[in-house]
Amino acid sequence: LAVAATRWDANVLAMQEMLHQLMDILKMFFPGGNVVTNALALSTNSALKADALRGKPAMVQSILEEAMDFGYPQVTQAESLCELVLDTPSLEGKTVSALDALLRRRKKEGAEDHKTGAPTLDVTGAVPWRKAGIVYKKNEVYLDAIERVSALVGSDGELISGRVNGSIQMKVYLSGMPECKIGLNEKFMMEAESGYQNAASSAMEGRPTNVAQKACRSQVALDYIKFHQAVKLQNYESDHQVHFVPPDGEFELLSYTVSDSRNFTLPFTVTSWYKSLGRTRGELNVKIKADFPSSLVAFQVITWIPLPKSTVKVSMQATGGKTKSKYVDLANNQTHWKLSELRGGKEHKFKAIIEMMAGTELGGTSSGEVWEKKVPPLKLTFQVPMFTSTGLRIRFLKVHERSNYQPVKWVRYLTCAGDDYEVRVKH
């Protein structure tokens, strides 16, 4: 929990954003209690421990002094803070893993040319998120378009509600001061601009019904989009291309949300039903089908199946994947069915025979009968490379720098399950 105090009226959203930035910075500098083990890592999901802050009060104070000046945000880039707060050369090869990996990619002469006065110029210059004089032995750009799908699916396989949280993550190892340009789908726009708003547009070619067509459609309507500060918004508004001078290392270029179920496609059709076989036995069936092209393969497709509290034995069988007895977790009242790989268009079935104790609840009903009336939903986790539920596509990635070098460019797509991808069970 982070709290900010002010003596006068202030921009609440700016304060909230600064608190989030500060928390992310502290997590980068104090992951798991170690000093800057991953200073430039993008993941800030680890918990921030109070003991780590108490152990380094001088560093915390130094970070706060550089990040804010008289209460005004100044420096929120991790790499700039590393050079202002820490003695970067002394950390190489010792305590910093991600920063050390970044430094090793650079040529030694490029690091030597960067004098001690450069941090001040980086902060006060026109591009504070990138320093001048960076030189790499090999120029590379990695772009990952990642979408996390959260959904509530009915027992018949139809989507009840859902959303897609997407982001474009980048790793940039480029020399000099390059300018990058990324072309997204021709109609990758906000919902208010989309032609989906009126009834007439529903018949337009941007609304295909075929699943394969949806995966490669050119129309993507967004509810929310957030850009990195390096993006030139005026260019995006004019030609829907993302122009920016990239920071050095890892960063999130943009994030977006799609909540209208008509604007995204679920990668799987999952149906499930439960049938009672008596007072102490029941049968639970699951059928899953991959609704993407056969050229693609999903990995680690795991279906988490709930069990009654009175379960004593579970017998499982499936047409594919693993159904080992060690997957049964009676302590947490669940089991799971694991498909290491699932090719597009394929379908597999799962069946579990559940045996329960013969105890009874109040009113004379058995525990199995009580559970049958309120069967919890299934949960699904998966990863589908080279597939996006919204149909997002990177049309091009261009890099221009004064020296006219040709960088190596990598573009990947990944769709995975969000925090709550659930399927109701018919009973």
28 or 304, which is more confident: 304
22-26, 268-272, 407-411: which has the minimum mean pLDDT?
A: 22-26
Query: Which helix (H) or strand (E) segment is 181 a member of?
Result: strand 179-183
Burial 327-340 (b: 16+ CB within 10 A, else e): bbeeeeebbbbebe
Other beta carbons less than 10 A from residue 399's beta carbon: 18
pLDDT cut 70: percent of the chain above it: 75
38 or 7, which is more confident: 7
Rounded Cα–Cα distance for residues 368 and 374 (Å): 10
The pLDDT value recorded for residue 280 is 85
The pLDDT value recorded for residue 358 is 78
Express each pLDDT in 226-284 by its tens digit: 899 899 988 887 777 899 999 988 889 999 999 888 889 999 999 999 998 888 889 99
Averaged pLDDT score across all residues of the chain: 79
Q: Is the pTM of this model over 0.75?
A: no
Q: 3-state DSSP call for residue 182?
A: strand
Rounded Cα–Cα distance for residues 81 and 123 (Å): 10
Express each pLDDT in 302-327 by its tens digit: 999 999 988 999 999 999 999 988 99
197 or 20, which is more confident: 20
185 band by pLDDT with thresholds 50, 70 and 90: confident
On whether the CB atoms of residues 174 and 397 are closer than 8 A, the answer is no
pLDDT mean over 10-16: 83
**Does residue 351 register a pLDDT over 70?**
yes
**Does residue 363 register a pLDDT over 60?**
no
Torsion of CA 128, 132, 138, 139, to 10 degrees: 50
Q: 3-state DSSP call for residue 87?
A: coil
H-state helical runs in 92-244: 98-105, 108-113, 118-124, 211-215, 233-239
Torsion of CA 351, 355, 360, 365, to 10 degrees: 30
17-21, 286-290, 344-348: which has the minimum mean pLDDT?
A: 17-21
What tokens were used for 85? 């707060």
Handedness of CA 131, 135, 137, 142 (dihedral sign): positive
The pLDDT value recorded for residue 186 is 63
Q: Which stretch, 173-187, 301-315, 346-360, has highest mean pLDDT?
A: 301-315
Q: How many residues does the chain have?
A: 427
List phi, psi (to 5°) of 131.
-85, 160
DSSP letters for 245-310: -PPSEEEEEEEEEE--GGG---SEEEEEEEEE-SSSEEEEEEEEEE-S-TT-EEEEEEEEEE--TT
Other beta carbons less than 10 A from residue 278's beta carbon: 11
